[in-house]
Amino acid sequence: MRMWLGRAGKAVSTAVVVYLLLWLACILWFWMSLPFSGGGIFAYTLIAYYLTLPGAAAIICALIGWCAELGRVRWFAPLAGALLYVAALLLTFSLSTALGIANIAPVGLAAFLAGLAPGAIGFLCGWLLRRFRDSRR
């Protein structure tokens, strides 16, 4: 366990790149599935917006919350995750509605909060675990 915790600081940059690749893959999945009648939009929504992106944001924000070396900049990690979540919604559902391909409700404040919650929970867990570990030393 100590080995993994010691490597958390070095893993942040790799985790951010992996998150961005997942984010891009989710957007590409949506647009690549539309020519095949778009019948998988429900499955896409469940997998991309309720499992993949929130789970990845929680894990990455936990790593960032753990890394005290990043200073105060790390407090913006959940906000960045929420903005990327909303950007993914805008680049998929809202854009397809604007292009006349689909008719899906517009993105609102609820989408931002849905993107913010997993990142904030993950960040809080990482931050609390770091504080707990530092208090025991």
User: Which tokens in the block code for residue 10?
Assistant: 């070095």
Q: 69-94 in b/e burial notation, b at 16+ Cβ within 10 A?
A: eeeeebeebbbbbbebbbebbebbbb
Using alpha carbons, select from 94, 122, 118, 121 the residue that is nearest to residue 108.
Answer: 94
What is the structure's pLDDT at 7? 62
Tens digits of pLDDT across the chain (137 residues): 555 555 656 678 888 899 999 999 999 988 888 766 666 788 888 999 999 999 999 999 999 998 888 888 889 999 999 999 999 999 998 888 888 877 777 788 999 999 999 999 999 999 999 999 888 87
d(CA 10, CA 130): 15
User: Which tokens in the block code for residue 73?
Assistant: 């900049």
**Euclidean distance between the first and the last CA atom of the chain, given in angstroms as a whole number:** 16
Question: How many angstroms separate the most distant Cα atoms in the chain?
Answer: 59
What is the structure's pLDDT at 124? 96
What is the structure's pLDDT at 45? 87
Predicted model pTM = 0.85
What interhelical angle do 53-66 and 77-89 show, nearest 10? 160
CA distances from 60 to 9, 43, 90, 113 (A): 11, 24, 22, 17
